[in-house]
């Protein structure tokens, strides 16, 4: 860690055990120690389950007291005072005023029945002793400070009326309302578009400079860390594997796990046949990157799907008698070759997902044609399309929501087979389900388990296995790896590539993550506001983007150190660090 520096917060020998229902104890945090200096950003990095969020919740004293045990020698010192010894009254006074937190999922953190202005004002009334009128006025000023457009109007909106990026800005406004000394940001940009992600990071950095805060930034993405942090703490399985300045961690990582995290993310300058995963780097013999995979369409490629002029609009009421028409997709056309991948990229609201849902007729197209092996999917009757449901499948973004929590894995996998008459009997279908689980690298004994017993990456594998029960020719991957850790993401991408190589499936790969899209795609289609702005081979579009919008997206990709615009003042001698 940095040698500068008087610590604002010091974690010393933090040990946390959780009591489980069977009486056993799970050791989540194992003697963790680190400092957060004044006016600096410390990044806490690691995979899901590494202990990052538990550590942050311990600092805020938000862990459930009924089943949490903290080590007797553990200390969390904030300006010299041990937070572990504070009363509930003292903790309430501290939270939001001296230490504030931005949570990962703003829609779950914001109250859906109060306007965002009221929620920001509540913080000010509680901690800054402002009256209602003064707090409401200051809330609008804070919404303006975090870059929310038309802040006076937005203050009267409810959370569901704002986009994900706007919701996160509201959470930041609440967090900085009382000018805290320490801001904890727990995965604040996960699953956000690259452009919105960059804006949020820039905003936090600007506010840090303006208010002189310290920041604890929690993430699994080391690419973000290099652009934003001063110091890095790498965690795994509740322990610190490595700590140092961002320069030390990026330029000369000492721990094999740190090197693995840096290498797991897809790179823009090369495309290995397989992405590295954590275990590759933890082997004694080390890791050698495989050769690059060639991508692109060829003149003799068989076209399995040709979409012409796809359009989709939605109507909503406006006023008593009026209606508003929103064009989600406008005149979208493309071709998909057998055994190839077409990547579709763009910001939220660009129409990517609308295209995917329309092709499987979860939305009804309002114009256009989609020829699948010569037959128009949009012109078919529901009965005719029933046969094609098996041949074109979709993997949804959120594996937590797309799997029925009341079904076992066996039921999840065998139900589609029963509906489409696959397998002669139940025993044959169960055997096929077990084979498919092995195919996606899950053990056959998982059949008896329920979705909640699996991690996010494992659930996504189950969702992929469910699609494979239909033996599809086209697989639509709708943001299917966007919320996964970089290492789990690499595993799923490798799995998708293996399946494509074996079964010659064609993929429509929908994502806002341009590095992932370049890795897996043969051709890329860029969308903005429902329209196709550019389409070309993956390498061409990244090397020579023709559209200004594409160049904007590419400039927002996290690349490691030194890319955020305020990096100069973060390292400047003229600023107190």
Mean pLDDT within 369-397: 91
Statement: residue 535 has pLDDT above 80: yes
Q: Are residues 82 and 44 in the same domain?
A: yes
Mean pLDDT estimate for the chain: 87
Average pLDDT over residues 18-26: 85
> For position 284, what pLDDT does the model report?
65
- Of 133, 162, 179, the position where a domain reaches its end is 179
- What is d(CA 175, CA 183) in angstroms, rounded to the nearest whole number? 7
Domain end: 118, 144, 179, which one?
179
pLDDT exceeds cutoff 90 at 24: no
Whole-number Å distance between alpha carbons of 40 and 230: 6
Q: What pLDDT, on a 0 to 100 scale, did the predictor assign at position 576?
A: 23
Is the pLDDT confidence value at 566 over 70? Answer: no
HEC per residue, 223-268: HHHHHHCCEEEEEECCEEEEEEEHHHHHHCCCCHHHHHHHHHCCCC
Inter-residue contact 347 to 195 (CB < 8 Å): yes
Question: Residue 335 — φ and ψ, nearest 5°?
Answer: -125, 145
505 and 551 share a domain?
yes
- Residue 61: pLDDT band (50, 70, 90) is very high
Q: Is the dihedral of CA 129, 130, 135, 139 positive or negative?
A: negative
Same domain, 201 and 338: no
Q: Are residues 168 and 42 part of one domain?
A: no
Asked if residue 170 belongs to a domain, the reply is yes
Same domain, 521 and 532: yes
Say if 258 falls within a structural domain: no
Q: How confident is the model at residue 567 (pLDDT cuts 50, 70, 90)?
A: very low
In a domain, residue 290? The reply is no
β-bridge pairing 303-318 and 367-372:
antiparallel
- C-alpha dihedral sign at 135, 137, 141, 147: positive
Q: Could you tell me the CA-to-CA distances from 280 to 128, 260, 288 in Å, in that order? A: 52, 8, 9
Cα 88 from chain centre: 34
DSSP bridge partners of 343: 509, 524
Q: Is residue 262 part of a domain?
A: no
Q: Are strands 182-186 and 214-219 parallel, antiparallel or unpaired?
A: parallel
**Domain check: are 209 and 139 in the same one?**
no
Final residue before a domain boundary, out of 179, 202, 236: 179
pLDDT at 369 over 90: yes
Sign, CA torsion 139/144/147/152: positive
Q: Left (φ > 0), alpha (ψ -120 to 50) or beta: where does 212 sit?
A: left
pLDDT at 569 over 60: no
Amino acid 326: pLDDT: 85
Distances (CA, A) of 457 to 201, 505, 514, 567: 26, 21, 20, 33
Q: Quick one: 171 and 186 in the same domain?
A: no
State pLDDT tens for residues 258-278: 988 888 888 888 899 988 888
Residue 267 lies in a domain: no
259: in domain: no
Q: What's the pLDDT score for residue 561? A: 58
Are residues 141 and 241 both part of a single domain? no
Instruction: Name the pLDDT band for 191 (thresholds 50, 70, 90).
Output: low
* Residues 410 and 526 reside in one and the same domain: yes
- Whether this model's pTM surpasses 0.85: no
Which range marks the domain in which residue 197 is found?
1-98+180-252+563-577
pLDDT band at 430 (very low <50, low <70, confident <90, very high): very high
Q: Is 257 exposed, middle or buried (0-12, 13-18, 19+ CB in 10 A)?
A: buried
pLDDT on residue 393:
93
Res. 125 pLDDT band, cuts 50 70 90:
very high
Give residue 540's Cα distance to chain centre.
27
Please report, for the domain that includes residue 538, its CATH number: 3.40.50.300
Name 312's Cβ contacts closer than 8 Å, sequence gap at least 6. Answer: 327, 328, 329, 351, 354, 358, 363, 364, 365, 366, 367
How confident is the model at residue 361, as a pLDDT?
95
Same-domain check for residues 68 and 117: no
- Cα 66 to the chain's mean position, in Å? 31
What is the predicted pLDDT for the residue at 571? 32
Query: For 529-533, what is the mean pLDDT?
Result: 95
Residue 577 lies in a domain: yes
Does residue 223 register a pLDDT over 50?
Answer: yes
Q: How many domains does the chain divide into? A: 3
Is the per-residue pLDDT at 365 higher than 70? Answer: yes
Same domain? 170 vs 219: no
Q: Are residues 328 and 354 located together in one domain of the fold? A: yes
Residue 173 lies in a domain: yes
How confident is the model over 309-329, as pLDDT tens digits?
999 998 877 767 778 888 899
Confidence tier at 5 by pLDDT (50, 70, 90)? low
């Amino acid at each position: 860690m940095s040698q500068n520096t008087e610590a604002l917060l010091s974690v010393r020998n933090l040990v946390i055990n959780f009591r489980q229902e069977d009486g056993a104890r799970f050791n989540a945090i194992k003697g963790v120690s680190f400092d957060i200096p004044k006016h600096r950003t410390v990044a806490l990095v690691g995979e899901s389950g590494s202990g990052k969020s538990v550590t942050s919740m311990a600092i805020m004293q938000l862990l459930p007291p009924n089943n949490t045990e903290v080590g007797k020698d553990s200390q969390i010192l904030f300006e010299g005072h041990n937070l572990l010894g504070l009363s509930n009254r003292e903790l309430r006074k501290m939270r939001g005023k001296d230490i504030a937190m931005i949570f990962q999922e703003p829609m779950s953190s914001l109250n859906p029945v109060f306007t965002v202005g009221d929620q920001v004002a509540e913080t000010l009334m509680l901690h800054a002793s402002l009256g209602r009128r003064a707090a409401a006025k200051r809330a609008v000023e804070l919404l303006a400070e975090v870059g929310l457009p038309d802040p006076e109007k937005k203050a009267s909106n409810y959370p569901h009326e704002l986009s994900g990026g706007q919701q996160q800005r509201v959470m930041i406004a609440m967090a900085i309302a009382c000018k805290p000394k320490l801001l904890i940001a727990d995965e604040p940009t996960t699953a956000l578009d690259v452009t919105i992600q960059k804006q949020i990071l820039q905003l936090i950095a600007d506010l840090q400079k303006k208010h002189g805060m310290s920041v604890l930034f929690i993430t699994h993405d080391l690419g973000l860390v290099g652009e934003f942090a001063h110091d890095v703490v790498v965690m795994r399985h509740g322990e610190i594997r490595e700590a140092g300045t961002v320069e030390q961690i990026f330029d000369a990582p000492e721990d094999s796990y740190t090197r693995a995290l840096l290498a797991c993310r897809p790179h823009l300058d090369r495309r290995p046949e397989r992405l590295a995963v954590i275990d590759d780097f933890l082997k004694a013999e080390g890791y050698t990157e495989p050769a690059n995979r060639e991508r692109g369409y060829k003149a003799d490629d068989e076209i399995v799907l040709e979409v012409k002029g796809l359009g989709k609009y939605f109507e909503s009421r406006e006023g008593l008698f009026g209606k508003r028409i929103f064009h989600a997709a406008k005149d979208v056309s493309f071709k998909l070759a057998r055994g190839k991948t077409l990547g579709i990229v763009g910001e939220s609201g660009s129409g990517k997902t609308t295209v995917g849902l329309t092709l499987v007729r979860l939305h009804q197209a309002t114009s256009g044609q989609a020829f699948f092996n010569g037959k128009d999917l949009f012109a078919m009757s529901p009965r005719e399309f029933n046969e094609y449901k098996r041949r074109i499948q979709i993997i949804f973004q959120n594996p937590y929501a797309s799997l029925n929590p009341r079904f076992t894995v066996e039921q999840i996998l065998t139900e589609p087979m029963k509906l489409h008459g696959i397998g002669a009997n139940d025993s044959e279908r169960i055997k096929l389900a077990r084979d498919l689980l092995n195919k996606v690298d899950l053990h056959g004994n998982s059949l008896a388990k329920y979705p909640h017993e699996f991690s996010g990456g494992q659930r996504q594998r189950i969702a992929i296995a469910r699609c494979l029960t239909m033996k599809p020719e086209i697989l639509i991957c709708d943001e299917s790896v966007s919320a996964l850790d970089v290492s789990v993401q690499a595993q799923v991408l490798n799995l998708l590539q293996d399946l494509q190589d074996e079964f010659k499936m064609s993929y429509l790969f929908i994502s806002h993550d341009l590095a992932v899209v370049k890795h897996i795609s043969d051709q890329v289609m860029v969308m903005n506001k429902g329209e196709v702005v550019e389409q070309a081979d993956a390498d061409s579009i990244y090397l020579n983007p023709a559209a200004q919008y594409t160049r904007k997206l590419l400039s927002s990709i996290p690349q490691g150190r030194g890319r955020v615009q305020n990096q100069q003042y973060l390292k400047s001698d003229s600023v107190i660090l």
